[in-house]
Amino acid sequence: MSQPAPPQTTFNFSRASVVLIDANQLCLQVMTGILAGFGFRKMQKCLDLSIGTDAVKRQAVDLILLDPAPFGEMGYDFVRWMRSEKIGSNAAAPVIIVTAFTSVRMITACRRCGADYVIAKPFSTSQLLERIVWVAESEGRRGELVAPAEVVSSNGSGVELW
């Protein structure tokens, strides 16, 4: 007797707000293109940490992709600030660190400051999608990353995973 197929989880990222913070313009363009392919439409690219901080203060954010390396300790301070400040739901917004510098010391610093996950550059699109889905499925971190029932159709709108 065959097993029934597992239920599909569908995500529609079109309403999710993403802040990308990286001092490298090319990296921002690549990540923006990848996220657009996943269905993200609301993306704010920040070449400077202060612009990213202003974005988090000004709007509701569902996901943050950050390369802290160019900003030194201030990159980790940014995440600590988010987690400790009373900035509404943004204090719990998922933070995925995307960096080429993945030493044990750096990964430890990311964990201690409150980041959710670290992805090493260069990364594959499937790797990034897996981490985004992982944080989307985490309790208390969903926001607009998970499509409301009225947006998800059985014909496969959004990103389908099985």
pLDDT tens digits, 23-58: 999 999 999 999 999 999 999 999 999 999 999 999
At 57 the pLDDT is 93
The pTM score is 0.81
Max Cα–Cα distance, the chain, nearest Å = 59
Predicted local confidence at residue 12, as pLDDT: 81
Q: How far apart are CA 119 and CA 8, in angstroms?
A: 25
Strand partners, 11: 159
Check residue 144 and give its pLDDT.
Answer: 55
Domains, the chain, ranges and CATH?
9-148 (3.40.50.2300)
pLDDT at 159: 41
| pLDDT score of 107 | 86
CB atoms within 10 A of CB 120: 13
> pLDDT tens-digit profile of 104-113?
888 888 889 9
Tell me, what's the pLDDT at 126? 92
Q: Which residues of the chain have pLDDT under 70?
A: 1-9, 139-162
